[in-house]
Chain A
């Protein structure tokens, strides 16, 4: 790309973005959508297969009730109406990772329709409308061997692994999101984040983007204010929350530069590249494939009993938004403080740390301070930093017990992040315990008094503030392993001065 991209501020000043998100969630059911094969990730290729998920002649699908229950719960959590009667449909196209050369999906009768999800961006609530939520089966995976790119071009062999074929997949499609202006990339990220949290709360998927159990396609278009929506592109291969934001931003910039130069946007699929942060064209969608959808004749219609749906609705867990509001109150945080907790992705981490016995303030201090700093430096999500809430709670426990001071605690935390073990183990292995043996400490204090007679006199004569210098001196000789407060009291006591 030789074109110089325009500045983002200028782009959003000139154009209005419209975005739309299609999210695929692999359900965490024990068995596949149409057969009894296990769904766990990994495993030797083609070991979790049977006649049904291999599409062998004569085999037939039987719908997984747990998957139907899971999608209804997702629909309810997203404020959707649940269809009283709907059918699966066949989406026909030839591809070797599709055992039957058709995918069992849903077409004009999705099981959940017309919902919404509220997300918070910059202190504002944005309502993202959900068009549909439907159930389908995942495909196998194709591996192209022998080429330079790993793509089919230039490959000498193509291998197919059907372990993933038939795993239940939920597709969640938003209505076009308009009017978010410069915030569009953030709104996209906030939506996927909130969606992930909702689904995780429901316990129906592990929603891990890096393992592909949560996948997101981002549709983006730009239009001039007051004019019709522009041609959209669909960006695939967006594999992290951060990438969702980057992909929208990058596509907005690219489209603006094309439009600025008088060009037109091609309706196409584009691939996002994590390393460069930009998108490149995939297959063109202008010659639309005719999928020849028709109702799946091998399955009976899904007609969930309204009483059952009502039961599922009543049993929904507290959803993240409500949960967060309750936590904010319990933790006594201002909206602004809560926002920074959210931005850092620290809600659940702090919550778990508090649950392990730490005060909210201390938990927040560690996760938003030292740990967030480390996460930013190494460019990972806070949750993946390597420290667990239990470890943070243990660390704070050591501080509260007077065994570590603040500076030492930070050193121990470094060790935790670097995987050296538990805080207690690191404290021992790094020899970082507060000197609490009064005999040794008293000796060190007496030594410091003897070495600094002038300062000692000052203190004796009432200038208590000068005690700091002696505290510093003792800290130096004990290599910081003393509790400053205890030390101060001890010095005053040895000098016969009332604190």
Chain B
């Protein structure tokens, strides 16, 4: 029974719990057992909250027994990326600088997960401060891709994606600043959705780049992702950038898409992303998916978005600039690591030693980049210019959405690469997010859905929609899923 529960979708688990055919505790135990069995190989989790998970599961069972009406995901386990503050549960952001920190508060999303009766299993591994595309920059060691343990699971949210692919959790939360939900989804054969910026609350999400960070759902099916999306999304008065509008009905859209009918839906292939940038195997899977979408009635055209070519350089000015300021608070004064406080050193020395010891190389690289880009005399040439590019990219998106309902592209130019293959050259690593970054700069939603395999490794297709039209991407993704099916990795 145990292994069966871990192979189920969230939708199936919720139905069993609601029907009293299994209990939330039983479901939780099955997943905790699975984690105990495989996570030594996968290393998806930084912290497993066994007691907290079982307590939450018991509470759901008690409430159900008392006849309380429970939400659509009650009793379903969820793995949470370690970027979200969880009250009393260690939150490290994959960094040594926050080792041992237990936040005194819950992120809004975590609170909503609790309110919905989901069961938080623990916190998943990530590139330090969400900076990376492989989870190799975690201060606590890399996560391994369940499809091939010698390969990366993507990043920064590799832990969440790997936990899904390894059947350690049916649902997970990620955060997407430049592709950190979608790219891990693509390379692990799972679904990852970046909602509209402002559609999900950032309160309690440890900031990397405030104007880009977007928490979102990860799952093994589009419908599960939509259900999770519905639970976590919606206006939050604690986040000024949160949009005070109703959440688009993504669940209905996913169900509509699953009928396999895309009649009247206009899709645009981004010309700039189907050229030489992507691996042949990725392009092959993508082309086959386009055929499938066409067969379901979608009208597919190619659309040129010339400014998308400038997205990567603009991103690598904006995100580091914001991060250089956001990460200033990690100084050893109030929380987390403190180094060199021996009574003989000045405050400045202690701050400096703490940051030297607490931050890893990629974080330091980006802090330095951002500090430079914001410096007096360089601001206009770098940060200012990048903001102008951002405006142009938004214009390209707006113009494209006058012609089509959604844009599509491969999620990432290449499939999961071997651990260590791209750490020597930061630029090679940055290329992993080439196709996902424009959406973050624009602020619209994007989803990665498995679309095929290339040499035995998963390939993802990305659907990008206008801001606050998240439902559109779920419809297209669910339709594609109905045509190509889901992908199961080899047994661990």
Contact partner, B206, options A57, A96, A158, Cβ 8 Å = A57
Contacts of B348 in A (CB 8 A): 94
Per the 8 Å Cβ criterion, residues 45-86 of B in contact with A are 84-85
CA distance A236 to B163 in the complex (A): 57
Q: Is the CB of B334 within 8 A of A92?
A: no
By a CB distance below 8 angstroms, the chain A residues around B238 are 60, 62
Contact B376 A292 (CB under 8 A): yes
Does B241 have its Cβ within 8 Å of any Cβ on chain A?
yes
Chain A residues with CB under 8 A of B324: 92, 292
CA distance A38 to B361 in the complex (A): 40
Q: Confirm or deny: A300 has a beta carbon within 8 angstroms of a beta carbon on chain B.
A: yes
Of residues 135 through 171 on chain A, the ones whose CB sits less than 8 Å from some CB of chain B are: 152, 156, 158, 160
B421 CB–A CB distance under 8 Å: no
Give the distance to chain A from B356, nearest Cβ to Cβ, in Å. Answer: 14
How many angstroms between the C-alpha atoms of A56 and B207 in the bound complex?
A: 11
Smallest CB–CB gap between B82 and chain A, Å? 11
- B84, closest chain A residue (CB): A58
Stretch at the interface among A97-105, A174-182, A405-413: A97-105
Contacts of A51 in B (CB 8 A): 85, 103-105
Q: Which residue of A lies closest to B352 (CB)?
A: A94
Known interface pairs A102-B328, A290-B376, A292-B371; A57-B333 also in contact (CB < 8 Å): no
- Assess whether B240 is in contact with A58, with CB atoms less than 8 Å apart: no
In chain B, what residue has the closest Cβ to A294?
B374
Q: Which residues of B contact A290 (CB under 8 A)?
A: 375-376
Are the CB atoms of B325 and A102 closer together than 8 Å? yes
In the complex the two chains form, what is the Cα distance from A55 to B376 in whole Å?
25
Could you say which of A57, A59, A102, A297 has the most chain B C-beta atoms within 10 Å of its C-beta? A57
Inter-chain contacts of B330 with A (CB < 8 A): 57
A299 to B351 Cα, complex, angstroms: 27
* B210 contacts A297, C-beta separation under 8 Å: yes
* A56 touches which of B103, B240, B325, B375 (Cβ 8 Å): B103
Of residues 82 to 109 in A, which have CB atoms within 8 Å of B's CB atoms?
Answer: 90, 92, 94, 96, 99-102
Contacts of B104 in A (CB 8 A): 51, 56
Query: Chain B interface mostly helix, strand, loop or mixed?
Result: loop
B237 on the A face (CB < 8 A): yes
B322 at the interface (CB under 8 A from A): yes
Report the interface size for chain A: residues with CB under 8 A from the other chain. Answer: 31
Interface residue A457 (Cβ < 8 Å from any Cβ of B) = no
Total CB contacts across the A-B interface at under 8 A: 102
Binds A, one of B145-153, B197-205, B248-256: B197-205
A59-B93 in contact (CB<8A): no
Chain B minimum-CB-distance residue to A97: B333
Min CB gap A143→B, angstroms: 13
Interface centre among A55, A160, A297, A298 (most CB of B within 10 A): A297
User: Does B335 belong to the interface (CB within 8 Å)?
Assistant: yes
User: Whole-angstrom distance from the CB of A182 to the nearest CB of chain B?
Assistant: 38
Which B residues between 349 and 387 are near A, CB-CB below 8 angstroms? 351, 371, 374-376, 379, 383
- Report the minimal beta-carbon distance from A296 to chain B, rounded to whole angstroms: 8
> Given the complex of chains A and B, what is the CA–CA distance between A57 and B105 in angstroms?
10
Bound-complex Cα distance A299 to B85 (A): 20
Interface pairs A-B: 7 shortest CB-CB: A101-B328, A297-B210, A292-B374, A297-B211, A58-B204, A58-B85, A57-B206
Known: A57-B206, A102-B328, A298-B240. 19 other contacts (CB 8 A): A56-B335, A57-B103, A57-B330, A58-B85, A58-B91, A58-B203, A60-B203, A62-B237, A62-B240, A94-B351, A96-B331, A99-B329, A158-B347, A160-B333, A294-B379, A298-B241, A299-B240, A299-B241, A300-B241
User: Could you jot down 14 A-B contacts, CB within 8 Å?
Assistant: A54-B334, A55-B329, A56-B103, A57-B91, A57-B207, A58-B206, A58-B207, A62-B237, A94-B331, A94-B348, A96-B331, A290-B376, A292-B376, A297-B322
